[in-house]
């Protein structure tokens, strides 16, 4: 998906007409679940929630339940938040979670134990081509090894997982190779590098800027909206590798108007706010190479060991991506900005794992806000602005402007890495 940058230019879709129609079909208004759950007095009936509201509820319950909280995920079929609880002497925690509207599931592994297991993996098995993230649906750590992890490296990883104890972690082999999705070629350009713009934002001083992947930001300082063209934006801050993969890039022209929208080709989808991801949540990804793709969130706070170094705090998904999609937007059908494409394995033919930088973390780190500086509630913390109450109706907004988006054809910084 691209983001709009003004002045507008006529743009051809980076993806074919069939994909454009697919985007419209995915994102046009759908029958959304009711926000009205059972009343407080109605016993333990889980509320029917949209994914954005489930994420908010999960954050509140994590603080409320304390050590009894063992993760949560979104059940898309039933449109409910499922909260894992470690059974103990105090059954009140289950009552609290049910009263708040969650479906409660008792599990064996506490979040403290799972986090300790992840620390052991970090200290004993930080091997290029590996990743790990807590999967609340299995109540285990999902460890993934790409095709380069063989021989002694595989034996080391396997023995480390076994040392965590039975039922604590599982290993999955990936056919591909973990890499950042950068590419030499067309799209937001700098020298031989190409990336995709993630989301237009407002920097802390009120100037227009955009977010993209940090490995794009460290690859080059200035970026153009056309191959061999004059730079239009300059990197202000970037993080990669380390605690994230994100960069803030400021438009060189302070008069640039850069609304937080994603261009679907035949329509634009306004982004209402930044939001935390929830395991099980349906998400969409836009990039300059492969256009629109969709899938599910598989894990949070993922650690990925790229050849360039270890990156922590990412979102793991099964959404496909390819070189050139780096930095592109991940979002929900109702206009919540969730992530920036980092890297992974596989492609959009064979599939694979893909990792995303959480938008909320990136905004907080660089001191930017999503959308116009004066827009209340759209910011680094993903504060509530009523976006969670939106239906998919926002997807139809701006459809007439889609042909004028400068990003999707590589002429604008909206979907190129």
- Name the strand (E) or helix (H) holding 314: strand 309-317
Active site residue 245: yes
The encoded tokens of residue 255 equal 């008069």
| E-only strand ranges, 77-168 | 80-85, 103-106, 130-135, 140-145
State the Cα–Cα distance between residues 116 and 110, nearest whole angstrom. Answer: 10
416 CB burial (10 A radius; 0-12, 13-18, 19+): buried
In which element (H, E) is residue 291 found?
strand 291-306
The residue whose two tokens read 């969709």 is 294
Indicate which residue of 215, 260, 329, 411 is catalytic.
Answer: 215
Catalytic residue among 72, 190, 326, 411: 326
183 annotated active-site: no
Separation of CA 400 from chain center: 27
Is the separation of the CB atoms in 181 and 322 below 8 Å? yes
User: For residues 15 and 20, what is the distance between their CA atoms, to the nearest angstrom?
Assistant: 7
Q: How far is CA 324 from CA 86, 149, 287, 329, 343, in A?
A: 43, 25, 7, 12, 10
Catalytic residue among 53, 146, 225, 245: 245
326 annotated active-site:
yes
Cis upstream peptide for 7 (omega within 30°): yes
Q: How many residues does the chain have?
A: 417
Residues identified as active-site: 215, 245, 326
């Amino acid at each position: 998906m691209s983001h709009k940058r003004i002045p507008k230019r006529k743009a051809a879709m980076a993806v074919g007409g069939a994909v454009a129609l697919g985007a419209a079909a995915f994102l046009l208004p759908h029958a959304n679940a009711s926000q009205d759950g059972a009343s407080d007095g109605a016993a333990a009936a889980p509320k029917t929630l949209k994914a954005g509201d489930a994420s908010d509820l999960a954050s509140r319950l994590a603080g409320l339940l304390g050590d009894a909280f063992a993760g949560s995920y979104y059940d898309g079929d039933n449109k409910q938040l499922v909260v894992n609880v470690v059974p103990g002497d105090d059954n009140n925690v289950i009552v609290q979670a049910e009263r708040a509207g969650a479906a409660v599931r008792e599990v064996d592994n506490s979040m403290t134990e799972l986090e300790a297991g992840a620390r052991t993996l970090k200290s004993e098995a930080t091997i290029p081509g590996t990743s790990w993230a807590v999967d609340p649906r299995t109540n285990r750590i999902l460890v993934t090894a790409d095709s380069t992890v063989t021989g002694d490296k595989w034996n080391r990883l396997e023995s480390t997982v076994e040392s965590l104890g039975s039922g604590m972690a599982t290993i999955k082999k990936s056919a591909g190779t973990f890499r950042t999705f950068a590419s030499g070629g067309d799209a937001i350009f700098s020298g031989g590098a190409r990336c995709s713009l993630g989301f237009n934002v407002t920097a802390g001083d009120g100037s227009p800027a955009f977010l993209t992947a940090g490995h794009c930001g460290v690859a080059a300082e200035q970026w153009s909206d056309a191959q061999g063209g004059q730079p239009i934006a300059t990197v202000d801050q970037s993080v990669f590798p380390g605690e994230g993969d994100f960069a803030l890039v400021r438009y060189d022209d302070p008069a640039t108007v850069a609304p937080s929208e994603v261009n679907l080709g035949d329509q634009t989808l306004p982004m209402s706010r930044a939001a935390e991801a929830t395991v099980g949540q349906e998400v969409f990804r836009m990039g300059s190479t492969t256009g629109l793709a969709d899938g599910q969130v598989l894990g949070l706070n993922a650690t990925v060991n790229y050849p360039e170094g270890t990156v922590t705090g990412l979102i793991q998904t099964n959404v496909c991506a390819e070189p050139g999609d780096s930095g592109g937007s991940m979002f929900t059908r109702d206009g919540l900005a969730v992530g920036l494409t980092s890297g992974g394995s596989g492609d959009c033919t064979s599939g694979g794992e893909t990792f995303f930088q959480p938008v909320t973390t990136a905004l907080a780190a660089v001191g930017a806000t999503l959308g116009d500086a004066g827009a209340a509630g759209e910011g680094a913390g993903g504060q509530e602005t009523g976006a969670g109450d939106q239906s998919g109706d926002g997807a139809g907004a701006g459809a007439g402007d889609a042909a004028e988006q400068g990003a999707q054809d590589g002429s604008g910084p909206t979907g190129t890495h």
